[in-house]
Structure 1
Amino acid sequence: MDRQPVLEGERYLLRPLAGEDWAALYAVASDPAVWEQHPMHDRWRAEVFREFFDDALAKGGALAIIDTRKGDIIGSSRFQALKSAEDDEEEQSSVEIGWTFLSPNYWGKGANREIKRLMVGHALKSVDRIDFRVGESNWRSRIALEKIGARQTRRTDLAKYQGKRVLHVVYAITREDFASGPLGRESLGD
């Protein structure tokens, strides 16, 4: 699977994140409202975001999200944790889509939906399932995932941040879910 594609929709372009994107992306990420429900709620701080940004570049799979009408970077998302069927305990190939954040100016206006439709549609050409890992108390993201047809699984992930335990719940979209769900119907023009 190409984890660094160029994907273009009606209003948004996704392209590989580059080092030169730091200033424009940090201008979005420096708004504390972006991270208020996120488990890593201090990512608005320059030194914390710098680690996040550098990690995104080092691991690959990170995409800049651009509003094609304005030409502005409005956020970022990633493809991570690519697994073949042999690697996965559920015997499905999968990739995780996550680390997504958008400028609050784009919340509730269809941006996340179009971005996820592009990313999920691209990934499901190569894998059987998309996973989304989200902080248990990040209701904004959880509701957004449910609106695009993702289903909460029984899988969870426990991490630590600043010495505290952080529980993540895992949502998924399979090829079948995509085809019959809201994103797949939009791809077909319904």
Structure 2
Amino acid sequence: MSAVTFDPGATLTGPHLTVRKLVPGDLDGLHAAASDPEIWAGHPAKDRWKREVFEPFFATLIALGGAVAVEDREAGRIVGGSRFYVPPDQPGSIAIGFTFLDRSHWGGPANFELKTLMLTHAFRHFGEVWFHIAPSNIRSQKATAKLGAVHAYDARLDLSGQPTDWQCHRLAKADWEKVLAARD
């Protein structure tokens, strides 16, 4: 496994979704996917659906790198976003975070397909993947547990320009493989 060859902007294609590098021209499409207040209801940034709040978030994603756009292949539009990044306290690992999907893709297979694409890509290069979740974000904590990740510890980390309290969840490759095997 080699972090040196890992490409966070690789295009990943599944049956219904394509995950690709986020580019500056994606602002309108990503904001359209993020403009529903319900998406952010359980999130610490509850007003991120507003354009004036979303734009600085988008600029941060572009500046930090590793951000991806999630496209619905049939609809031909962006339906969410996510990001690969190196956890500041686990420098030899990779993390997946800053993930959201348009509500039209909730309650179905989209989140699992998205995470399957991203995790399959990450596990080609790393033995574990980290997820950092706000303590108040119960929906994301539950979704991450369904992937086989376990809450390892709490930490105050700077993931996007400001130190924040996070729950740090670890997913080992072997645990992910068990989740996949149980779905077959």
Choose from 11, 20, 28 the match for 2:33: 28
The letter of the residue matching 1:150 is A
Question: How many Å separate the matches in 2 of 1:33 and 1:159?
Answer: 26
Query: What's the CA shift string for 1:31-62, capped at 9, x where partnerless?
Result: 11111111111211212211111111111111
Q: Which residue of 1 aligns with 2:168?
A: 170
Corresponding pairs, count: 175
Matched residue type, 2:147: I
Which residue type is aligned with residue 123 of structure 1?
A
Alignment of 1:56-135 (within 5 A): 56-81=61-86, 88=90, 93-135=92-134
CA contact 2:87–2:130 (8 Å) conserved in 1: no
Q: Is the 8 A contact 2:17 2:73 kept in 1?
A: yes
Q: Is the 8 A contact 1:39 1:166 kept in 2?
A: no
Displacement, 1:168? 1.9
Partner Cα separation in structure 2 for residue 35 and residue 28 of structure 1: 12
TM, length-normalised to structure 1: 0.85
Aligned residue identity for 1:175: K
CA distance in structure 1 between the aligned counterparts of 2:40 and 2:11, rounded to whole angstroms = 26
Runs of 4+ with >3 A deviation? none
CA distance in 1, matches of 2:55, 2:16: 28
Once the two structures are superposed, residues 107-126 of structure 1 have per-residue CA deviations (whole angstroms, 9 ceiling, x without a partner) of 11111111001101101111
Partners of 2:95 and 2:144 lie apart in 1 by 13
Structure 2: how far apart are the matches of 1:174 and 1:166?
A: 24
Residue 3 of structure 2 corresponds to none
- Paired with 2:33 and 2:112, the residues of 1 have a C-alpha distance of 19
SS at match of 1:181: helix
Quote the offset at 1:185 in angstroms: 5.5
- Consecutive unaligned residues of structure 2, counting only runs of 5 or more, are 1-5
Aligned to 1:143: 142
Q: TM-score, normalised by structure 2?
A: 0.87
Change (3 A) 1:45 1:180: same
Q: Secondary structure at the match of 1:33?
A: helix
What SS does the corresponding residue of 1:176 show, helix, strand or coil?
helix
- Matched letter for residue 168 of structure 1: W
Instruction: Answer yes or no: is 1:42 the counterpart of 2:70.
Output: no
Matched residues in 1 for 2:106 and 2:93: separation? 27
Letter in 1 for 2:78: I
Identity of aligned residues (%): 36
> Residue 6 of structure 1 corresponds to which residue in structure 2?
11
1:16 and 2:21 are equivalent in the alignment: yes
2:63 maps to amino acid: A
